């Protein structure tokens, strides 16, 4: 059987498994409106997607994943609760590594249910694990929501917290901002020189760019506010660093995070949610004592994840991406629902990687 036919057959079998678990099969268009994805992720998404355009539809992107269009579909006319499954190709540019495929199959399972988020997390994780069969894969888990709660609770300006939250998925930029906001590294000299002028809007160089005078003035005011703000304390920075350093088996990670929460109460509710999820995973038959938890896991994934995140990896094959990934994306439903929202979590499996690891390709 040709390679693509084998992948399609495995994808169909996985999709049937998800349907048997209660999911409704759905399909999404190969071309997705670029405006939606750009609004969600900014221009960064262009580096990862194939973009085209025409006079009638404007900019379009070849589907980089399924979650965004499935969420859009559900928020437009889905009932509650809902479970969906899908299978098809996604497309990612791989200019930095041409050995990686720029087109591959995904099969997914998504749950929209506001009754018990911890149980939904566990359901998705366990079902994805079931779909991976007998392969000996390493499972990694994390929770972006704990770091988001920690940042939201910092004793600093809302602008600084917003900047850190925007860059949670860019670890180097996040670290640079944390260092600057805490005074570990100084603000750029050119910026401080500009702010020191009696009227920073007065200059003798030509105007460039598209920002209006009002936008430039607002930006200068924001920079002035930032320059006058007190630094984030060394203690708060140390607590963020301790949180990001948590990497242990899940029960020990939970105890470590509880200790951190004593001095950082902003994460208390998120830590309770982690405990609820651990109990729900155990109820699904998952050996939580052997399950890895890493507080910084998922920070280089798609930016819509804002809670539980997970991935399954083939140990001894560092050349391969994760065979399956998933996570919670409550905030995405709020953005696409235009005021409406519903807790949601999902996961995807790459059937081509499954077959490769089984030696079937």
Render each residue's pLDDT in the chain as its tens digit; 361 residues.
688 899 999 999 999 999 999 999 999 998 888 887 777 776 667 777 888 888 788 888 888 889 989 999 999 888 889 999 999 999 888 767 777 788 899 999 999 999 999 999 999 999 999 999 999 999 999 999 999 999 999 999 999 999 999 999 889 999 999 999 998 887 666 555 555 566 665 655 566 666 666 666 666 666 666 666 789 999 999 999 999 999 999 999 999 999 999 999 999 999 999 999 999 999 999 999 999 999 999 988 767 899 999 999 998 888 889 999 999 999 889 988 887 899 999 999 999 999 999 887 7
Q: Hey, where are the domains in the chain? A: 1-130+343-361, 138-183+232-313, 186-230
Most distant CA pair in the chain, distance: 75
Same fold, 1-130+343-361 and 138-183+232-313: yes
> What class, spelled out in words, does domain 138-183+232-313 have in CATH?
alpha beta
Q: Residue 40 has what pLDDT?
A: 73
Q: Residue 232 has what pLDDT?
A: 94
Letter string b/e over residues 149-166, b meaning 16 or more CB atoms within 10 A of that residue's CB: bbbebbebbeebbebbee
Residue 129 CA to residue 108 CA, distance in Å, equals 12
Q: How far is CA 143 from CA 71, 234, 284, 306, in A?
A: 21, 24, 19, 8
Q: Residue 342 has what pLDDT?
A: 93
Residue 67 CA to residue 32 CA, distance in Å, equals 12
> What class, spelled out in words, does domain 1-130+343-361 have in CATH?
alpha beta
């Amino acid at each position: 059987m040709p390679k693509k036919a084998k992948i399609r057959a495995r994808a169909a079998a996985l999709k049937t498994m998800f349907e048997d678990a209660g999911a409704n099969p759905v399909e999404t268009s190969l071309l997705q409106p670029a405006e939606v994805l750009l609004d969600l992720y900014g221009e960064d998404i262009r580096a990862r997607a194939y973009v085209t355009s025409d006079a009638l539809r404007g900019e379009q992107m070849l589907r980089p994943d399924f979650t965004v269009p499935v969420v859009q579909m559900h928020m437009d006319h889905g009932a509650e609760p809902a479970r969906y499954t899908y299978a098809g190709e996604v497309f990612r540019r791989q200019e930095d590594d041409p050995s990686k495929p720029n087109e591959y199959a995904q099969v997914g399972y998504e749950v929209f249910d506001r009754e018990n988020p911890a149980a939904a997390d566990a359901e998705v994780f366990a079902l994805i694990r079931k779909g991976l069969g007998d392969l000996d894969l390493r499972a990694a888990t994390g929770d972006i929501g704990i770091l988001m709660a920690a940042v939201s609770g910092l004793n600093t300006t809302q602008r600084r917290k917003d900047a850190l939250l925007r860059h949670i998925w860019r670890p180097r930029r996040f670290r640079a901002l944390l260092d600057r906001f805490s005074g570990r590294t100084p603000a750029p000299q050119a910026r401080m020189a500009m702010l020191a002028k009696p009227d920073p809007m007065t200059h003798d160089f030509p105007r460039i760019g598209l920002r209006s005078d009002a936008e430039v003035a607002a930006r200068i005011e924001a920079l002035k506010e930032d320059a006058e703000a007190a630094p984030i304390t060394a203690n708060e920075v140390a607590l963020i660093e301790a949180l990001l350093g948590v990497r242990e088996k899940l029960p020990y990670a939970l105890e470590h995070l509880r200790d951190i929460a004593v001095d950082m109460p902003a994460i208390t509710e998120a830590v309770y949610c982690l405990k609820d999820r651990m109990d729900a995973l155990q109820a699904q038959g998952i050996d939580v004592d052997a399950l890895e938890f890493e507080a910084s896991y998922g920070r280089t994934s798609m930016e819509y994840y804002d809670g539980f995140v997970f991935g399954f990896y083939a140990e001894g094959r560092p050349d391969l991406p994760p065979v399956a990934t998933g996570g919670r994306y409550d905030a995405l439903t709020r953005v696409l629902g235009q005021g409406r929202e519903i807790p949601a979590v999902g996961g995807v499996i790459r059937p081509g990687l499954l077959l490769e690891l089984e030696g079937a390709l």
